[in-house]
Structures are given as structure tokens and as C-alpha cells.
Amino acid sequence: MPLIAVDAMGGDNAPREIVEGALMADAGGAQVVLVGDEPTLEEILAGRGEHIAIRHASQTIEMSDDPAHAIREKRDASVVVASRMVSDGEADAVVSAGSTGAAMACAAFVIGRLKGVARPAIASFFPTGQVVMDMGANLEVKPEHLLQFAVMGSALSEVYRHVERPNVGLLNIGEEPGKGREIERAAHAILSETDVIQFVGNVEGRDIASDDVDVIVTDGFTGNVLLKTSEGAAKVIQKMILEILAQPEYQELTAQLMPAFMQIREKLSPETIGGAHLVGTKGVVVIAHGSSSRVAVSNAISMAVEGAESGLVDKVADGIERATR
């Protein structure tokens, strides 16, 4: 079983919710080590009557800290120590709900990038099953970066969705090859020429509900807007459904439909996914939302376990090597 180093001090609800989430994952069979201030973590665990491994880290990187500066100045910060454990082979993956910038900096400079990877990228799983990347790590990209994102996203789809040869689409404003900005037109040409991935052409934002595409690639700015817009749209739809079901004439029907609605609500919740992968580094890195609850933390740890067990890093490395020959 892979060992997951969890940044216990990162996140809005740290350290208690991180500890609770780690305990949930531990109860489910995951091997976890909490990285953070040992006295604080031991006090929380003592209050629960539980035990879990702890690696002491005396510092914490705050959301307001400059990430690059902080990882140099705070070498004993929890996320730095957790990343160093992965780099040194003591742990197989790191999970953090703290500063995304700090986690990215640690992944790039402490764990290190895979050979040939120009830009590690953030990949998110949509409730519909697609892998979408980049979700915010690289606001400006080159066409060759989008090819690497396609390779990384394909590896994720193979590992987590068990798709043998994932269909890859390039996010654009239209399906025709000549659509979009210069970056999309150039990327379309590069993606069309390679046989390392299964490229199906341009796709639009509405295609996140389609079964015809498994991986969607774009720049980090557009991807992040797509993610946040989709989350907002999901909340609006849920609110509209609840308002309709609350009307008196639907009272009896509501009692029957509510369990089904709650299943849909759970599927749409970001907590169910748990986190997003930072792909392209020499270790498995899962970045959880800053406001993650214990459920989200537990699911993020489970995601890290699956990635480590399935050889995600090796799959990405192999794909990048073939794409850059």
C-alpha cells in the first residue's frame, strides 16, 4: 500500500479537518502520515483517542505568502517536508489543501519535473467523467504544451476511468480546424499529426456533457474559467430544482424524488472528487480545495493512493518520452 504524506497544516480548515479526513482514509485502508506541528496534531488525535503516524514540521506556508519565496525561506514548512518525503522516496504521494502556488512550487522544485515535461499542469475530473486540463497552473501556453497536456490527460483517463485509448479534444469556440486564436490553430495542427494520443479535433464547452470525448485540453486561464463556471451552473440548477420541489403541489412527489436528487447533488459536489492532480512531476501530487472538509480530504487521499498504485507517474513519463522523440 502506498504511503501518502498529507500536509496537515494547509487549508482553511486545517489542521482538524485534515486530521479527520486522514483518519477516515486510514480507516478505509490507506497508509497516511500527517505532516505538521507534532504537539498540535497529537493533541487533536488524543482528543479522538486515535493514532496515526506524524512527521513533525515546525512551519506553515500561509495563503498570503509568496510561494517561491516561502519554499526557500520556510524549509521546514509542512508542504515542503511532505514533498521532500516524496522526493526522498519515503512517501509515494503528497496531498495538500494549502496554498496551490506553494504546492506547485514544491512539486516543481522539491519533487522535480519529469524528463521532457515543459509545464506541469493541473487536471480535474468533471462529474461527467472527462479529464480537463490545464485548470490554472499555466495561464499562457504554447502549442507544444497543449500536446503534453493531452498526453498527461490521457494517462489520467487510462488510470482512473480505465479508458484504453482516450479521445482527446482541444477546447475551442467551434469545431472547425481554423477556429480560435493562433494558439488553438497551431495546437490543432500539432495534435493532428501525432499518433501518441487519439485526437478527435476541436470541442466546445458544451461537450463536457458528451460521451465522445474523454480528455479536454486548454490553457490554464480558460480551463479555470470553465471549471468555476461549471460549478456555478451546477449550483444554479440545484437551486432551481429545489425551488420547484418546494412548491405545495409537488409535496408528495418531492418525498419520493429527494433521495434521487441527493444522489445527483453528491455526484456534482467537488468534495466527491476530492482534489485535482498536478501532473508532470516525479511523484503523485494531489491538490485539494482550500476549504476542503474531512470528506474531501479523505477522497483526495484515496485519489492519491489510486494514482500511486496504478503507476500514474510512469505512464505519464512514457507518454511524454514518445511525444518528444
| More confident call, 69 vs 271 | 69
Residues 274 and 300: beta-carbon distance below 8 Å: yes
For the segment 102-145, what is each residue's pLDDT rounded down to a tens digit? 999 999 999 999 999 999 999 999 888 899 999 999 999 999 99
The Cα–Cα gap between 117 and 110 comes to 15
For the segment 303-315, what is each residue's pLDDT rounded down to a tens digit? 999 999 999 999 9
Query: How high is the pLDDT of residue 248?
Result: 87
Query: How high is the pLDDT of residue 155?
Result: 96
The Cα–Cα gap between 100 and 126 comes to 19
| More confident call, 42 vs 251 | 42
Q: What mean pLDDT is predicted for residues 96-101?
A: 94
pLDDT category at 33 given cuts 50, 70, 90 is very high
Q: What are φ and ψ of residue 103, in 5° steps? A: -65, -40
Q: Is the pLDDT of residue 316 over 90?
A: yes
> How many CA within 13 A on the CB side of residue 60?
19
Q: Is the pLDDT of residue 41 over 90?
A: yes
Residues 97 and 6: beta-carbon distance below 8 Å: no
> Where does the chain hold its CATH 3.40.718.10 domain(s)?
1-113+281-311, 118-279
Nearest to 22 by CA among 270, 9, 89, 228: 9
Fold held by 118-279? Isopropylmalate Dehydrogenase (3.40.718)
pLDDT category at 47 given cuts 50, 70, 90 is confident
Query: How high is the pLDDT of residue 19?
Result: 96
The Cα–Cα gap between 161 and 178 comes to 31
Q: How far is CA 40 from CA 55, 62, 94, 292, 294, in A?
A: 12, 17, 20, 19, 17
Q: Is the pLDDT of residue 168 over 80?
A: yes
The Cα–Cα gap between 275 and 123 comes to 9
Rounded to 10°, the helix 16-27/38-48 angle is 60
Q: What are φ and ψ of residue 292, in 5° steps? A: -55, 135
Nearest to 61 by CA among 78, 81, 43: 78
The Cα–Cα gap between 274 and 265 comes to 15
> If 0-12 CB within 10 Å is exposed, 13-18 middle and 19+ buried, where does residue 148 land?
buried
Helix spans in 88-200 (H): 100-106, 143-160, 182-193
Query: How high is the pLDDT of residue 29?
Result: 94
The Cα–Cα gap between 166 and 312 comes to 15
Q: Is the pLDDT of residue 94 over 80?
A: yes
Asked: is 1-113+281-311 a CATH 3.40.718.10 domain? The reply is yes
The Cα–Cα gap between 258 and 261 comes to 5
Q: What mean pLDDT is predicted for residues 63-78?
A: 92
Q: Which has the minimum average pLDDT: 10-19, 154-163, 226-235, 264-273? A: 264-273
For the segment 173-191, what is each residue's pLDDT rounded down to a tens digit? 999 999 999 999 999 999 9
For the segment 6-25, what is each residue's pLDDT rounded down to a tens digit? 999 999 999 999 999 999 99
Query: How high is the pLDDT of residue 268?
Result: 74
Q: What mean pLDDT is predicted for residues 44-59?
A: 92
Query: How high is the pLDDT of residue 151?
Result: 97
Cα angle value 182/184/187 (rounded, 5°)? 105
Q: Is the pLDDT of residue 264 over 90?
A: no
Query: How high is the pLDDT of residue 242?
Result: 84
